[in-house]
Amino acid sequence: MAHKASAIAPANIAFIKYWGQKDPKTFLPFNGSLSMNLSDCTTHTTVEFREDLTTDEIQIAFEGGAGASHAGPVENEFAPIRREDGDKHELAFAQVDRVKALAEITAGARVQSRNNFPADSGIASSASGFAALTLALVTAAGLNDLVKNHVALSTLVRAGGSVSAMRSVMDGFVEIAMTADGADCEARQVAPPDHWLLFDLVAVVNTTKKSVSSSAGHLRAETSPHFAKRLEDLKIRLPQCRQAIQARDFGILGHVMEEDALSMHQVMQTSDPPINYFMPETVALMEAVRQWRAEGLPVYFTIDAGPNVHVIVEESYVNTVREKLAYFPGVQRVIINHPAQSAHVVDDHLF
């Protein structure tokens, strides 16, 4: 048994979004989704099993101050999270329990995890966080079959409570496909990272923790009168998105991703109670992207469960769009991502 292991995992940006859980106990989504792994939004996690520890300890460091108001962590400093804090914190401890039970480990676990981007603000931090945690856990536990089998690893990641993290354990462009009866789902690679050099320029307008967690939001999706129509539309939109990626058709991909982001936010805004993740800067950026497109620039947007805007371009327009975003009122920083490899084991330990 390795005892100590580290992993780095990417966040991902969904072009077709997962929103809504059919079964909150097994974290079964209502619909399939498709995303690109992000090169520059990553989580680095180290796990060590130690006989001298009587309880499990998890410490997290956030970048950009996000989360500081929630569980106590200050920017860039490690701070403990607690099981009692619920939501993803409780799920992280439960994932430690799950892997320990699988490997029949009785020792305590020490976990440190560091994000290089703001958490909880619509840059899928739970995806990179749960993918890195799970891979570091199974590696340290010596569960080698899981380390090598990414389908099984993604299933374990979902059991841990993060559906979006299933897409961070395969390289490049990844789909979560529902089974025909809708009773299960599986992660599949659509294309490797070098298939298409797309860029996701994340225009960061706010890094404070979102008011409604996506875990809570998923449970409200069904209360929206627009949700059933969204699921119906996705039967066409998801294959369209997959084919656009396979054919490297930027126009179709862009159209489909904007349509899907707006459809998800419509469901959020019409849920009971409603959820609004947009800020004035979010809306201004959406308008600007449409305007730039009308002026001939091939550029599209998508937005996750937060106010930050992901602006998608092909390689030849990265610098033009980055300049525009950098000087855009309210944009604090721009994170530039290209398609990335999935969660992987690294030698570099955090402690």
Give 222's DSSP letter. Answer: G
Given the structure tokens 């449409």, which residue do they identify?
Answer: 290
CA-to-CA distance for 122 and 268, rounded, in angstroms? 14
* 265: contact with ligand DP6 by CB under 6 A: no
Applying CB under 6 A, does 124 fall inside the site for ligand DP6?
yes
- 31 interacts with ligand DP6 by CB under 6 A: no
Query: Residue 142 or 239: which CB sits closer to ligand DP6?
Result: 239
Shortest approach of ligand DP6 to residue 89 CB, angstroms? 13
CB of 33 vs ligand DP6, minimal distance in Å: 4
Q: Is 214 in the site for ligand DP6 (CB under 6 A)?
A: yes
The pair of structure tokens assigned to 190 is 């659509």
Q: Which of 6, 37, 59, 126 binds ligand DP6 (CB under 6 A)?
A: 126
For residues 9 and 105, which CB has a smaller minimum distance to ligand DP6 in the complex?
9
Q: Which is nearer to ligand DP6, 109 or 221 (CB)?
A: 221
What values do phi and psi take at 308, rounded to 5? -75, 145
Closer Cβ to ligand DP6, 105 or 215, answer by number: 215
Is residue 80 within 8 Å of residue 59, measured between CB atoms?
yes
Six token digits for residue 174? 């990844």
Minimum distance from residue 338 beta carbon to ligand DP6 (Å): 18
- Which of these ranges, 13-21, 223-231, 235-243, 333-341, lies near ligand DP6 under the rule CB under 6 A? 13-21
Nearer to ligand DP6, 33 or 139 (CB): 33
Cβ-based neighbour number of residue 220 at 10 Å? 20
Q: Nearer to ligand DP6 by C-beta: 19 or 301?
A: 19
Q: Are 314 and 197 in contact (CB under 8 A)?
A: yes
Q: Is 134 in the site for ligand DP6 (CB under 6 A)?
A: no
**Buried/exposed code over 133-163 (b: 16+ C-beta within 10 A; e: otherwise):** bbbbbbbbbebeebbeebeebbbbbbebbbb
Integer angstrom CA distances of residue 125 from 30, 76, 160, 175, 287: 21, 15, 14, 18, 26
Residue 202 near ligand DP6 by CB under 6 A: no
How many Cβ atoms are within 10 Å of 279's Cβ, its own excluded? 16
CB of 302 to ligand DP6, least distance (A): 9
Residue number, 10 or 49, with CB nearest to ligand DP6: 10
From CA 69, how far away is CA 118, in angstroms rounded? 13
**Which of 74, 48, 47 lies closest to 61 in space, CA to CA?**
74
With binding defined as CB under 6 A, does residue 164 bind ligand DP6?
yes
Of 138-146, 161-169, 242-250, 341-349: span binding ligand DP6 (CB under 6 A): 161-169
Number of residues that bind ligand DP6 (CB under 6 A): 16
Q: Which residues bind ligand DP6 (CB under 6 A)?
A: 14, 17-19, 33, 124, 126-127, 162-165, 214-215, 304-305
